[in-house]
Amino acid sequence: MPARIGPLSEDVVLSSETQTGLPIRDAARPVTDYTSAELLAVVMTSVEDDKAEEVVQIDLRGRSDVADYMVICSGRSTRQVAAISEKLTEKLKETFRFTAKMEGKETGDWVLIDAGDVVVHVFRPEVREFYQLEKIWAAGSAHRGA
């Protein structure tokens, strides 16, 4: 049975080599045993590291079958919105070995990133104000990021 070693960002899936019994990495097997909370933590760290503004996380557990968490944040310009989004998808691929689906990066007004259990919206401030997703989803469960 494969084993998992190393910190989350450096997980290596191992199996035994038949002749020696020594562990070897199974490169074809992706690392998929992480929780939605671990995924959320990486998302929050990434957007905060890239200076996203007004970061809000909303707990959707028990309220939606689509995801466990939603993160909403803003970038000051279309360029920053695109950069925050691109760096987040790169970080998710590096950490969890999957490619998140991304929509809207070309215009940079509102980028949606579907990371499975965490959905991320990165807005320009004017677009965020227009759609007001926090008011639709929050219902008392929005938590400001650090």
pLDDT in tens, 10-49: 444 444 445 555 544 444 445 567 888 999 999 999 999 9
- CA–CA dist 58, 20 (Å, integer): 49
DSSP secondary structure code for residue 88 in this structure: H
Give the residues of the chain that fall short of pLDDT 50: 1-17, 23-29, 141-146
Domain-wise residue ranges, the chain? 1-31, 36-144
Which DSSP state fits 62?
Answer: T
H or E element in which residue 130 lies: helix 125-131
Q: What share of the chain is helix, strand, coil (3-state, %, to 5)?
A: 35, 30, 40
Beta strands 69-74 and 118-123, pairing class: parallel
Measure the CA–CA gap between 114 and 97, rounded to whole angstroms: 14
First-last CA distance in the chain: 40
| Nearest to 144, CA basis, from 69, 49, 57 | 57
pTM: 0.73
CATH topology of domain 36-144: Beta Polymerase; domain 2 (3.30.460)
